[in-house]
Each structure stands twice: as C-alpha cells, then as structure tokens.
A = this chain, B = another copy of it.
C-alpha cells in the first residue's frame, strides 16, 4: 500500500498530480503552441487546418453516468472524450483538442487519475486530437467535465435544417450501450454466464467509440440537419424534429433499426426479448449520428436510411414517430429524473 501508484490525490497534492497526469498525454502535436501546465493552452488553428471553431462541453458524474466498479478509469476516459467529440462531429466538424476537469474525493487513488488520462489520450489519438488543458478540484464524488474543440470547413449542420421530404439516416447502431448497462445492472457483466458473448455491448457501454468522420462526411454530403444520439434515438430525433418544425418518422422495418444478435442475446439473458427494441429506440450514450439528407442525395458511406421527414399534419406538433405512431417504450435518458 506504500507503492507510489496507490497514493491518494490528497497525498500526492495538486501540482504533482497535474504533472503526473499530464505526462500520460505525451507531447502535443503541431498547432499546440502551449499545452497543459500553464494558465491556459494556446492553439494555432491555422496549423490545425483552419476553419470555424466548434466547441462543446459535457459532464460525467460517478454513480449516474459511470460506476468505478463497472468501468476501468481508462474506460471512463474514453467515454468522456467520446461523448464530447461526438458533439463536435454532430456539427460536421473534426475534433482537434480536449480540456478536462477532474473533481474527485481526496481519497481517490492517483492510479485512477492516471488510468483516466490513459483513456483520454487513447481516444484523443483515435480522434486526431490532443488533450491541451485541464483542472483538478476536490469534491465528494467524481465529476468529470470535458470541453471539446473542433474545426469546421463546411457550413455548420444544425438540428434545425430538416425539411419535409428529406431522408433520415443513421451512422452507427443505437442500443448497445443501454444493453451493456442493463446487463451490468442485473449483475450479468463479465464472468457471469454468457459474459463473453456480451463483450461487445459491455464495451459499448463502458467505452463507446463513435465514428467521428461521419460528421464531416455528412456535412460534405449535403446533410440538412444533424444530431448526436447521446440521450437515445427517439429523444434526440424529437429534438431535431422540434428544432426543424417537422415530423421525423422512423421506419421500424429499416435494417438500420433492427436489433442485431448482440442486443437479442442480451435481451434473452435478461428474460425479456422486447428489451432489444427498447434499447434501439430509447437507449442513450451510443453517440451515433442522426442526419437528414435531401431526397435523391447519395448517402455518405457511414449512413443507412432509417426514415423520412414530413411536415406536421393539421393540428399536429413536430415529433419523432416510429412507423407513423408515437413510440410506447421507454423515452430515453432523462437527467434529474
């Protein structure tokens, strides 16, 4: 227990913690004029490719968004980076940098903070970005906030641009993260019966790996609207519909909305085959990209058609429907619920 790696944050202290975490990131790439360790980071965006700056911030709270007994610290680092970069991609932009605030109990072991940094560095490398700054604070529970920076060379793709007649398309599969969470909550994670068979959905929950390139591809491909499915397909589709003043009608027969074998196996393990569809439509944290494209446009390779856009009928509000009807399953992730 006297090993340096088992020391707590309180024992290590702020300055040594920051330098030991920063060391995990390695040297930043070109374009980062000043990296972590000063009052602020300095970026030369022209060197990073130029364009408009895209910024988004998102928080993970221990016990609500992750559990330290269910996920490794590296998993949590990947997840924190992924959910932030997905928001940048959902404007059509390319991630370039990340800042991370770690608020944690002083009793947390330094090895956890280092593992977090390893996961952040790993997902940043996959996204083509650098960790350029951060902060550490004491708190009663672990609260992680990241801010992602991206660059956008096309026009931004907002939630509000969908038009009647557009094709609705999805990059990625919704449901696996919720399936993994359900297995963990039921005590059917790794090492329990079919744990091996469920590895894909467990990993999807712990450390999602979104397809960031689908964002710029959608922008270049003429997308009229774009959103990240962080709170569940239907909930985020409803947000896009409300912003655009349209009805998004998802086609339940679309192959892009079929629950695959991994979801079916997880649902069977939990004794309720109907769960699989609930995860597809209601499950959050997959960070897929939901886009609308004008009719007749050739969809970028990452996207498959999953529905259509129409104008609300007389007396009808903007909404997200499934096969023309309101969905009767769970409605997606609710904060403060």
Is there contact, CB below 8 Å, between B42 and A156? yes
The dominant DSSP class at the A interface is strand
Q: Pick out which of these stretches binds chain B: A47-55, A164-172, A249-257, A313-321.
A: A47-55
Copies of this chain held together in the complex: 2
- Report if A200 contacts B (CB, 8 A): no
Closest to A231 in B: B14
A91–B38 CA distance with the chains assembled, in angstroms: 8
Q: Which of A239-260 contact B (CB under 8 A)?
A: 239, 243
Most chain B CB atoms below 10 A, which of A38, A43, A101, A228: A38
A156 neighbours in B (Cβ, 8 Å): 33-34, 38, 42
Q: Which of A61-89 contact B (CB under 8 A)?
A: 61, 64-65, 87-88
Is there contact, CB below 8 Å, between A53 and B42? yes
Q: Pick out which of these stretches binds chain B: A129-137, A174-182, A183-191, A297-305.
A: A129-137
Is there contact, CB below 8 Å, between A57 and B145? yes
- Report if A1 contacts B (CB, 8 A): no
- Report if A5 contacts B (CB, 8 A): no
Is there contact, CB below 8 Å, between B10 and A337? yes
Is there contact, CB below 8 Å, between A90 and B53? no
Write the nearest CB–CB distance from A245 to chain B, whole angstroms.
15
Closest to A55 in B: B41
Most chain B CB atoms below 10 A, which of A53, A64, A334: A53
A336 neighbours in B (Cβ, 8 Å): 8-10, 12-14, 17, 106, 136, 138
A111–B337 CA distance with the chains assembled, in angstroms: 18
Excluding A37-B243, A64-B138, 13 further A-B contacts by CB distance (< 8 Å) are A12-B336, A34-B158, A39-B226, A40-B87, A41-B55, A42-B93, A44-B53, A55-B132, A55-B133, A56-B99, A59-B101, A103-B143, A147-B147
When A and B form their complex, which 7 residue pairs have the shortest distance between CB atoms, in order from nearest? A40-B56, A145-B145, A39-B90, A147-B147, A106-B336, A10-B336, A57-B99
